[in-house]
Amino acid sequence: MTVSNTSSSTATTTSATTVSGGASIANNFDQFLTLLTTQLKNQSPLDPLDTNQFTAQLVQFAGVEQQLKTNETLTSLLSLNSAGTATSAVGFIGSTITADGATTRLEDGEAEWQVNVPRGGSATITIKNANGSVVQTLTKSLVAGDQTYKWDGTTSTAQKAPDGEYTITIDAKDTAGAAMTATTKISGVVDGVDFTGSIPTLKIGAISVPIDQVKSVVRKS
């Protein structure tokens, strides 16, 4: 069981982007101060800076200062949010999750998918291996609602498929012959977390499941 330790790199990238933006604002702020100070030093005593103009510049000064403080606050919030998300994702390790997906793992001669169709009917089920080659095609009756489809790894040539990742495709039709959409979900035990993407990805063997696609979690006591 391993956890991909890449959160630090993601955090570094996010931090670098934020710091870069903050540095840009800070530079503009410093330039503004320099220009304002120079303007006050070099104004003519006989023709001093107009009060309205000076007030407008002070307002701009205050706005830039406020933007700097807002940027610092957002940086802190992003850091806290990233840390919380990482902690939450790691907590999935060892749990059995159910998520949207069509690819699951065949292991010890067993693979299963959760299937849902709006109406009863029949379907042509196609199963492909990780290389995209079709290993099994068959027809099965479906009932309306949720149901489980289990595959024992038997191929179309009556051979046993090796353990690995397999993807199911369902071409479903109702009893009247009208096409209907079949949705699939997969289940498995989380054994790792990948932080390289914009959101953490849970790992079930070689299968990647974005954390926002998780539908249910079961942890065995």
Residue 100's pLDDT is what?
92
pTM summary value: 0.59
Per-chain mean pLDDT for the chain: 79
Contact assessment for residue 111 and residue 98, using Cβ atoms and an 8 Å cutoff = no
CA distances, 157 to each of 134, 160, 170 (Å): 11, 9, 20
> How large a percentage of the chain has pLDDT more than 90?
43
pLDDT, mean of residues 91-117: 92
Give the model's confidence band at 14: pLDDT under 50 very low, under 70 low, under 90 confident, else very high: very low
> How large a percentage of the chain has pLDDT more than 70?
65
pLDDT tens for each residue of 61-85: 667 667 767 777 676 655 545 555 6
DSSP state, residue 157? T
Give the model's confidence band at 120: pLDDT under 50 very low, under 70 low, under 90 confident, else very high: very high
Buried b / exposed e along 174-196 (16+ C-beta atoms within 10 A): beeeeebebebbbbbbbebbbbe
